[in-house]
Chains A and B, each alone.
Chain A
Amino acid sequence: MSAYLGDVAALARKDLRLELRARDTLPAMVLFVVATLVVFHFALPGGASDDAAYGLLWVALVFTALLGLGRSWVPEGESGALDGLVLATSDRSAIWLGKVLATLAFLGAAEIVALPAFALFFAPLDGPALAGVALASVGICAVGSLVSAMAAAARGREVLLPLLFLPLAIPLVVGGVGSSVSPEPATYLAFLGLYDAVFAILSWAAFEYVVTE
């Protein structure tokens, strides 16, 4: 067990260190999400309600996550490092879990900029809305890391990833928007928790089949 967690921590740390040195994902995500929010200001008609803005926040978050996920397996793809990782780790699902933690760190960092920017530009965010963002981010990274590993094995990875990911992300958007706009957010938060549990277990169990030759 501790060997497994050690693998996970080492893999996540490797991604964070790569990002610290190269800085090719996080600045792009932050800039993208802020630029998207500015575009949304001009896309919303003058008298639009706050509810419409909450909906657009979720569009911005999902697409920002896609930007990060699209790059998430690039370091492994170059120089065939993934084959080495598959051979080296005690359990292949550790590779997935490490990637989930690293992408979650990137997405969380982008949200630390995006959420105050949203509150400044559009409408305030309350506790349930923030909890919705946190829960949905876990689901986005859990499913996204697996799906982007699938896309990485295919030709035209950049085109394929959104097609694979967006239908799977629709329930997350429903839960996220519901937790921001509904007077009873508990149902939506519970639904997000359920989604996270179901798809995290499924991704964790299935990852091995996606990376082994």
Chain B
Amino acid sequence: MSIRNPSLSALAALAVVLGGVSVAMIFFVAPEDADQGLSQKIFYVHVPIALTAYLCFGIGAWKAFRLLLTRGERYDLESYTGIHQGTIFGALTLVTGSIWAKASWGVWWTWSSNQLVLFLVLFLFYCAYFMLRFSVESGPRRERISAVYALFGLALIPVSFFAIRLASDFIHPTVFTREGPQMTDSMFAAFCASWAAITLLAYVMYRTELAGKRTDLNLRELREALVR
């Protein structure tokens, strides 16, 4: 699949349109939060970005699992791209979460926000993934070592979440509870629109990066074949 793919361009355009619609909904449809005021609007960006980061890490681990199971070479790049996108969205989660913490609690960083601490741990973990990947010689062994590490990440997410919860008391505003989302309908609609836009954006970025990486790989193989 090349970068100049009409369906990918259409999806990218759709992501932009959906992003515009969701921004409009966040500011004009969803009511202002009685407690936090305007600063609560970052919730509609922060939480979808965090969910998208989880999704990307999940895709990375799933492709890694497929690689170990089938030894299909193509899953290596797919797993790597998924984790790369996840790390980008994870960093954005940290940034938006930090801004939200400053706006509502007056500090740029707080250890009492469990989700934020979890993302910091995951960010460190997945940064080490890139260090590992770039210091092993490329080949089947690197593919498998990267895949095993990516799978460890999937196990680390719930274990770390549990650990951080054990380590501190829980004061992060809980928006989703067992009784379902604690939001009005228009707030929930704006949230879903923003979530869809960001997920679509992540998908388009994933496909674009994957296409670029595959082109690079093919080019390198061609060059090696020519030299030989």
Contact = CB atoms under 8 A, between A and B. Distances in A.
Interface in A167-213: 167-168, 170-171, 174-175, 177-178, 187-188, 191, 194-195, 198-199, 202, 206, 209-210, 212-213
Interface string B130-174: 011001100111101101110110011001101110110000000
A160 B148 contact: no
A209 B144 contact: yes
Given A153-B136, A171-B159, A171-B163, A163 B128 contact: yes
What is the interface residue range for chain A against chain B? 20 to 34
Interface residues of B, number: 31
Interface string A133-153: 000000000000010001101
B17 interface: no
A168 B144 contact: no
Contacts of A168: 125, 152, 156
B189 interface: no
> From DSSP, what is the main secondary structure of chain A's interface residues?
helix
Given A156-B135, A171-B163, A175-B163, A202 B121 contact: no
B156 to A, nearest CB: 6
A112 interface: no
B165 to A, nearest CB: 9
Contacts of A5: none
Contacts of B128: 160, 163-164, 167
A125 interface: no
Contact of B68 (A167, A194, A198, A209): A209
A120 B142 CA distance: 46
A167 B121 contact: yes
A189 B81 CA distance: 37
Contacts of A166: 124
B24 to A, nearest CB: 39
A155 interface: yes
Contacts of A164: 128, 131-132, 149
A154 interface: yes
Nearest to A165: B128
Contacts of B124: 166-167
B163 A198 contact: no
Contacts of B164: 174
A178 B108 CA distance: 27
B125 A167 contact: yes
A209 B147 contact: yes
B145 A198 contact: no
A128 to B, nearest CB: 14
18 contacts: A146-B148, A151-B132, A153-B136, A153-B141, A160-B128, A160-B132, A167-B122, A167-B156, A170-B160, A171-B162, A187-B166, A188-B166, A191-B162, A199-B155, A202-B155, A206-B148, A206-B151, A209-B147
Interface of A: 146, 150-151, 153-156, 160, 163-164, 166-168, 170-171, 174-175, 177-178, 187-188, 191, 194-195, 198-199, 202, 206, 209-210, 212-213
Given A150-B148, A160-B128, A170-B160, 15 more contacts: A150-B145, A150-B149, A151-B132, A153-B136, A164-B131, A167-B128, A170-B163, A178-B167, A194-B159, A199-B152, A199-B155, A206-B68, A206-B152, A209-B144, A212-B141
Interface of B: 68, 121-122, 124-125, 127-128, 131-132, 135-136, 139-142, 144-145, 147-149, 151-152, 155-156, 159-160, 162-164, 166-167
